Amino acid sequence: MVTNSKKSMTISPLAGKPAPREMLVDPARLEREYFHRRPDPSNRSQMVSFGTSGHRGTSLRGTFTEAHILAITQAICDYRRSHGIDCQ
């Protein structure tokens, strides 16, 4: 067990070992889903979600897709335009 003054953490029994096969992700499927899956705007669980490390989600659940990135990029462009922010 690793301990510091604020909180304690238990080290995973998988630490330092290869990941079990059932935990692995198929990269080709992940990429396919990213480009082809369309999130359902009426499904709150598929909306864009941000956390401390940025955009969260996975294309396998329709929560991180190309459509999400395009929407985020468009929102940034719209915000910048509405505030007169331009690249110089």
Residue ranges of domains in the chain: 19-82
Q: What is the pTM of this model?
A: 0.67
Q: How far is CA 54 from the centre of its chain?
A: 7
**pLDDT attached to residue 13:** 93
For residue 24, what pLDDT is reported?
A: 94
Flag residues of the chain having pLDDT under 50.
none
Q: What whole-number distance in Å separates Cα of residue 39 and Cα of residue 64?
A: 9
pLDDT of residue 38: 92
